[in-house]
Amino acid sequence: MPLYKKVVNKNATMGIWKMTETLPELEALYEVKDSEREVYHGFRNDRRRKEWLTVRILLRELLGYEAEICYRGSGKPYLKDSSYCISITHTMGYVGIRLASHPVALDMEYYSDRVLRLIPRFVSKREMQYIFPEDEITSALIIWSAKETLFKLFDFSEMLFDENLFISDLKLGKSGHFKGTVAKDGFKADVRLAYEVHEELILVYC
């Protein structure tokens, strides 16, 4: 089974699945329910079908039973039975889930230098100190992923990555913790974020 990573502790459970299966192989691992068929067959390509199936296979692997995933109007997922809070992410052949009894968020990004072209859009002037010259790509991906994580956690309808979401205290390594801040319309909150650098992936979660 291509379960790339699984971490279970007292605070949360997290799993990452590397999608190496064909679509028929995934369909053999998960039976699409009658209530899900319209959504499943509405996807325009096999990639989205594979992601959708893998999320549900991974969730069953983490929980030990099948739970129905629902979505709020904003697109934020939740479990119908309210057993856990859930965050879902996917990128370039990988799917990730984070579960806990309290709100959680997880983002995962595939390692690519394309992020460098986007730096002016999501990195504020004061955050440029965290684009480390020795590894600009990893630095930028951690910051981008951190802001995606904060966005998922608070679920505001509109959020500017360079004006409402900030990071600080970042030190570059294979893993670590740093601070994320959300500031919008008089609301402000600090969040302790964790990151991991893998061969192909950057993970950020809280």
pLDDT tens-place string over residues 41-69: 999 999 999 999 999 999 999 999 999 99
The answer, yes or no, to whether residue 112 has pLDDT greater than 90, is: yes
Domain 3-104, second-level architecture = Alpha-Beta Complex (3.90)
For residues 5-28, b (16+ Cβ closer than 10 Å) or e, as one string? eeeeeeebbbbbbbbebeeeebee
pLDDT tens-place string over residues 19-36: 999 999 999 999 999 989
Distance (Å, whole) CA 65 – CA 83: 12
* Confidence class for position 1, pLDDT limits 50, 70, 90: low
Q: What is the mean pLDDT of the chain?
A: 95
Distance (Å, whole) CA 157 – CA 65: 32
Q: Which CATH class is domain 108-205?
A: alpha beta
